[in-house]
Amino acid sequence: MRPLTEEETKVMFEKLSKYIGDNIKLLVDRPDGSYCFRLHNERVYYMSEKILKLATNISRDKLVSVGTCFGKFTKSIKFRLHITALDFLAPYAKFKVWVKPGQEQSFLYGNHVLKSGLGRITENTMQYQGVVVYSMTDVPLGFGVAAKTTQECRRVDPMSIVVFHQADVGEFIRNEDTLT
């Protein structure tokens, strides 16, 4: 486990800012103690300093996970957000999409969100803006990228995709093995 390098930090924060914008600040400077990002097994974990100290007791090959896993770096040093980061993305998300109950299941099985299943969408969403997907009861279900702007969404036909799927909570079951 080690702190992120300069470059890694930049890549990761760029990615995060697509979803939560300036709110990244809130992740780093928290009123309830200092929190930090650490790299372990190519994965980025977000944890409080307290837990960090404790985790140093554990040797590297025996350590499986600390705090919350945000995502992982690919071999080409791109950062890929995991669904496990949803707990921290959802409260700070700038742009949100709500899906209708009928399409919840479809989204949870890894499909894109179609216009027909679109319940609500934040105003002024730009194309390719990172969005967090909610159910109509405000339960976060995953995140993705807006395929259309809010304006376009009003006009397109019902079967066209409005949000590209990136991650959904169904992955807790489907991809349990690769979460860590």
Partner 1 sequence: MGRKLDPTTHVKKGPGRKSRKQKGAEIELASFIPEEEATAKRLSSRSRKRAAKRVLSKKAPKDAAKEKPKKGFTDENSEWLTPAKRKRKLEEAESGDDSDEHWENEEDLEMEDEEEEQTKKGVKEQGKKKKSAKVEIKEGEEKEDDDDEEMVDDYGAPDGSEAESDGELLPIERAAKKAQQLKEALDLDSDDDSDDDEDDAKKKKKSDSDEEEDTVQANMDEMDAFKLPGAEESAKEGILPLDLKTIHQRIKDNIEVLCNFTKQREEGKERAEYLSLLKKDLCTYYSYNHFLLEKLMDIFPLSELVDFLEANEIHRPVTIRTNTLKTRRRDLAQALINRGVNLDPLGKWSKVGLVIYDSSVPVGATPEYLSGQYMLQGASSFLPVMALSPQEGELVLDMSSAPGGKTTYIAQLMRNTGTIVANDANADRLKSVVGNIHRLGVTNTVVCNYDGRQFPKVMGGFDRVLLDAPCSGTGVIAKDPAVKTSKDEGDIQRSAHLQKELLLSAIDSVNAESSTGGYVVYCTCSIMVEENEWVVDYALKKRNVKLVPCGLDFGKEGFTRFKERRFHPTLKLSRRFYPHTHNMDGFFVAKFKKFSNVVPTTPVVKEEEENGEAPEATVVTESPEKKPAKSDKKKKIVPGKAVGLKGKPQTNGTAAKKKTIVPGKAGGLKGKPQTNGTAAKARQAIVKPKGKKDSPAGPTKAKKAKMDGETVKGAMAKKPAAKTADESKASTADKQKKSPMKEKKRMGKNKFRKLQSLLKNEIE
Binding residues (CB under 8 A) for partner 1: these are 46-48, 50-51, 53-69, 83-84, 87, 104-105, 108, 135, 137, 139-141, 168-170, 172-173, 176-177, 179-180
**How distant is the alpha carbon of residue 107 from its chain centre?**
15
- Residue 155's alpha-carbon distances to 4, 51, 162, in angstroms, are 44, 50, 11
Nearer to partner 1, 50 or 120 (CB): 50
Euclidean distance between CA atoms 124 and 102, whole angstroms: 25
- Residue 108's alpha-carbon distances to 111, 137, 167, in angstroms, are 7, 15, 9
Nearer to partner 1, 21 or 170 (CB): 170
Nearer to partner 1, 63 or 156 (CB): 63
